[in-house]
Amino acid sequence: MSTTPLEAGPATLDRIRQYLVGLKMPRALEALEHILRRLERGELSALEAIDALLGEELTLREGRRIKAALKMGRLLSIKTLTGFDFSFQPSLDRDRIMTLAQLDFVDRHEVVHFLGQPGCGKTHLALALGVEAVKAGRSVYFATLADIVSSLAKAEREGTLRERLRFLCRPQLLIVDEIGYLPVIPGGGNLFFQLVNARYERGAMILTSNRGFSEWGDVFGGTVVASALLDRLLHHAVVVQIEGASYRLRRHAELMPDNNRSRPITAPPPAPRRRGRPPKARSADNEANP
Ligand code: ADP
Ligand code: MG
């Protein structure tokens, strides 16, 4: 003869409550009454009730873990792939981004480059992949190039460069945003190279830039350091070129000068400022994984 949960007695129920307290399962404790009532009404089988109870607790914990990891990783502005309007960027292969979201590139310690004009969605995509990685249990850290370089320079001044490099090597995925908006501070190229070299083939990175690889000499204060960087950063790399216009300015397209509307940035820049292009840059796409 089977008994209903409440017939099993208040003593049993009390013990279950104590177990949940002892096991530090506050959400399950909270949900217990409601789940038992549904069980009594025959809305849930015993198995489904156990499933619901444990599921409640796990959902709460996962939510907390993700929230804490996003904060730790400085993924403060949350962007998602579902929130990305692919129809606005026809040059972008949605399947390619969805493949990246499977995170094999993280496990293979590869580098993903998002290149494009300001506002085309580079940071959005980098953050969204970062969020996917956090959800899947990978460690992620997000920073702008300027922040990374200044934190390395500060650590160098204070004699703690090794520790800082070790800290930035820890996350399985390091996102370096905004390469090229400003040239790095003197010596910054060298410091960033030390980081890239330390992570090379050991940890994945996502880099975003509004400058073509041929302009990295200007960004990093010299073609020697730029080609050393690109040598590492294009070896196991996926280059995603976004050729569309700014999403921020989508309602004001007619106000934009023509050359700001939609310009592929890896196309050779208009003649003057180029001083020697680092090797390998144009081969990046060929080396990229399909
Ligand atoms: P970038 O880093 O290339 O300068 P962002 O990723 O910061 O550009 O995008 C600028 C703003 O426009 C952000 O608020 C971003 O969420 C939004 N955005 C950009 N592209 C899209 C898109 N295709 N769909 C939805 N929102 C977008
Ligand atoms: Mg950006």
For every residue of 56-74, DSSP letters joined together read: HHHHHHHHHHHHHHHHHTT
Give the nearest ligand 1 atom to 120 CA: 3
Give distance in angstroms: CA of 230 to centre of ligand 1.
26
| Alpha-carbon gap, residue 109 to 168, rounded angstroms | 14
Which pLDDT value is given to residue 248? 80
The Å distance, Cα 49 to ligand 2 centre, comes to: 46
Distance between CA atoms of residues 42 and 31, nearest Å = 17
Which pLDDT tens digits describe the chain residue by residue (290 residues)? Answer: 455 555 667 899 999 999 999 999 999 999 999 999 999 999 999 999 999 999 999 999 999 999 999 999 999 999 999 999 999 999 999 999 999 999 999 999 999 999 999 999 999 999 999 999 999 999 999 999 999 999 999 999 999 999 999 999 999 999 999 999 989 999 999 999 999 999 999 999 999 999 999 999 999 999 999 999 999 999 999 999 999 888 888 776 666 655 445 555 654 444 444 344 444 433 344 333 43
Which residues sit with their C-beta closer than 6 Å to ligand 1? 79, 83-85, 88-89, 116, 118-124, 208, 247-248
Looking at residue 52, what is its pLDDT? 97
* Residue nearest ligand 1's atom 20 by CA: 121
Query: Maximum Cα–Cα distance for the chain, whole Å?
Result: 90
Q: Among 82, 93, 97, 124, which residue has the most ligand 1 atoms within 8 Å of its CB, making it the best to mutate?
A: 124
Q: Look at residue 209 and give its three-state secondary structure.
A: strand
Query: What pLDDT, on a 0 to 100 scale, did the predictor assign at position 257?
Result: 59
How is the chain split into domains, by residue range? 5-72, 86-261
Q: Which of 247, 251, 263 to mutate to test the pocket of ligand 1 (most atoms within 8 A of CB)?
A: 247
Paired tokens of 195:
């980081």
Provide the 8-state DSSP code for 158: T
CATH of domain 86-261: 3.40.50.300
Buried/exposed code over 94-115 (b: 16+ C-beta within 10 A; e: otherwise):
eeebeebbebebbeebbbbbbb
pLDDT value, residue 165: 98
User: What pTM value is reported for the model?
Assistant: 0.82
The residues near 275 (Cβ < 8 Å, ≥ 6 apart) are 217, 223
